[in-house]
Amino acid sequence: MIAQVHGTVAAIGATWVVVDVNGLGLRIGTTPRTTAMLRVGGEALLHTAMIVREDDMSLYGFAERDERECFALCLSASGVGPKLALAIVSVLSPGQLVAAVHSEDLGQLTQVPGIGRKGAQKIILELRDRVAALGVEDPPTVPTAGAQPWREQVCEGLESLGWSSRDAEAAADAVAGLAESEPMPSVSTLMKAALASLARA
């Protein structure tokens, strides 16, 4: 299992990054929070999880070890695959997931695209006795690199989480004021605001 990747960032998307490790380019699935901490040409140290299936082999990487552990924990719930686990970690910090499970807060979990009330109840039931191992601190918010347009990253991130392009654009419009009020808004902050606007819609 590949547990860590250290190299130079060659390319960045909303939910993926390519890391050059001694000439080998690894495409790694990430959360918008993680990509917001990286820049092309910069150094990356990602805590990774490798998913191997009959027809696919994928790497997922996180800036914080707690996020990787949260991702692995979500995968341990029946019916939760890598895409949904990544969506959960993208929307909820490890601390927020722990709080949602302990308090049986269905509203928090149903903010994640692809999770309805029944799915949230099932996740809470299965993870109730396992979340204690996770950390409870939110990862730091780091400004996104100026070369990455916030609107494109937010829309791409929302679409990768299951929202339609129309909904993603509407959410981006809803947070435009927040983006303009900040000289260097972080993608994770804008994503949370965009998700909140979609939840209210």
pLDDT tens-digit series, residues 89-126: 988 888 888 888 988 888 889 888 889 999 999 999 99
Residue 145 has what pLDDT?
40
Q: What is the pTM of this model?
A: 0.65
Q: Which residues pair with 58 in a beta bridge?
A: 51
Strands 16-21 and 4-12: antiparallel
Q: How far is CA 169 from the centre of its chain?
A: 19
| Intervals of the chain under pLDDT 50 | 137-148
| Distance (Å, whole) CA 180 – CA 183 | 7
- The string over 109-142, giving b where at least 16 C-beta atoms fall within 10 Å of a residue's C-beta and e elsewhere, is bbbbbebeeebbebbbebbeeebeebbeeebeeb
Residue 2 has what pLDDT?
86
